[in-house]
Amino acid sequence: MVGSTASPIVVLDSGLGGLTVVRALRRAMPFEDILYFGDTARVPYGSKSAATVTGFVRQIINYLLPHEPKHVVIACNTATAHSLTTVRADFPFLSISGVIDPGANAAIEAAGSRLRPTIGIIGTEGTIRSRAYEKAIHKQRPLARLICQAAPLLVPIIEEGRWEDLRPLLAENLDVLVLGCTHYPVYEGLIARMAGPQVAVIDSADKCAEDVRRRLRAAQLERGERAESAYLRCFVTDNSPRFGALASRFLGLQIEPPTLVCSDELHEQVVAAANAGELRTAV
């Protein structure tokens, strides 16, 4: 495994959504340095093929490899569903986790002792099509009744008041509703009000952070208290002036201007690594 106690944790997403995981990580492990990669030029991932998304994730990990991360979090449900198994095989020397298992575990925990809980799952088209949540939940609760709905346009739905689109799902007497996209927790309060007090709304960010801490502890890589403050450095593939402002507002701290990475550069690096035999798979 690469990385030492002092190494950073890498967190990646198609855009801003993974910052919900960064926020949870910083709460759970305030002394850890974090490198955040938002693939803002290629967002959304939700409507793209598994092969394309896997290629993007491979490129991003490869790009950040020189920082010798002690852990990589795929803070995107779509990317976790499509690529986690593949990139773990591509980078066997790296510790890599995703958001779907922590989200599924949180849903099961919230369902309590019910043998046949009704669990709603909303996520991108790619996440829902992959059936990754269904598989993860049914492994532990085979009788659970799962109602899955792709909600790629959730943001406009909420912003334009088109809540009716979610009405059929919410009419299903849900016990639990999983926010299967890391962008959705930004609207968690609103969604919880729409769902009603009887529905446990699950945002996997905290569970994902707990899962990362457990992995770091097991590998004895957790960083202890230290005098200097931990850093958060962001990388983006499109330098929208909004990224820094939105990220700072969302995290409640002033972040350094993000480093702009051209997607062609990402591609070239992965080709070079493949040619040098450092990557197992074709690009």
Site residues, ligand DGL (CB under 6 A): 13-15, 17, 43-46, 76-78, 124, 127, 181-183
Query: Is 76 annotated in the active site?
Result: yes
Smallest gap from Cβ 6 to ligand DGL, in A, equals: 29
User: Which CB, 68 or 165, lies closer to ligand DGL?
Assistant: 165
Active site residue 148: no
> Considering the complex, what minimum distance in angstroms separates the CB of residue 121 from ligand DGL?
12
What span, in angstroms and rounded, lies between the C-alpha atoms of 210 and 1? 21
Q: Which of 76, 148, 208, 234 is catalytic?
A: 76
Q: Among residues 237, 234, 235, 236, which one has the least CA distance to residue 263?
A: 237
Quick one: 205 or 255, whose CB is closer to ligand DGL? 205
Find residue 147's DSSP bridge partners: 120
Helices (H) and strands (E) counted in the chain, each on its own, are 12, 10
Smallest CA-to-CA distance from 94 within 121, 67, 114 is with 67
- In the complex with ligand DGL, the residue whose CB is nearer, 43 or 221, is 43
Q: How far is the CB of 139 from ligand DGL (least distance, A)?
A: 21
Shortest Å, Cβ 40 to ligand DGL: 10
CA–CA separation, 77 and 5 (whole Å): 27
**Inter-helix orientation angle 77-90/100-111, to 10°:** 130
Q: Cβ 175 to ligand DGL, closest distance in Å?
A: 22
Name the minimum Å distance from CB 155 to ligand DGL: 10
Region for 112 from its dihedrals, namely left if φ exceeds 0, alpha if ψ lies in -120 to 50, beta otherwise = left
Q: Which is nearer to ligand DGL, 59 or 78 (CB)?
A: 78
The nearer residue to ligand DGL, 31 or 187, going by C-beta atoms, is: 187
Nearer to ligand DGL among residue 45 and residue 235 (C-beta)? 45
Nearest to 207 by CA among 230, 182, 242, 190: 182
Farthest-apart Cα atoms in the chain, separation: 55
What 3-state DSSP class applies to 276? coil
Catalytic residue among 148, 181, 208, 234: 181
CA pair distance 143, 84, nearest whole angstrom: 26
Q: Which residue sits closest to ligand DGL, CB atoms considered?
A: 46
Three-state secondary-structure class, residue 72: strand
Which of 159, 160, 98 minimizes the C-alpha distance to 133? Answer: 98
Catalytic residues: 76, 181
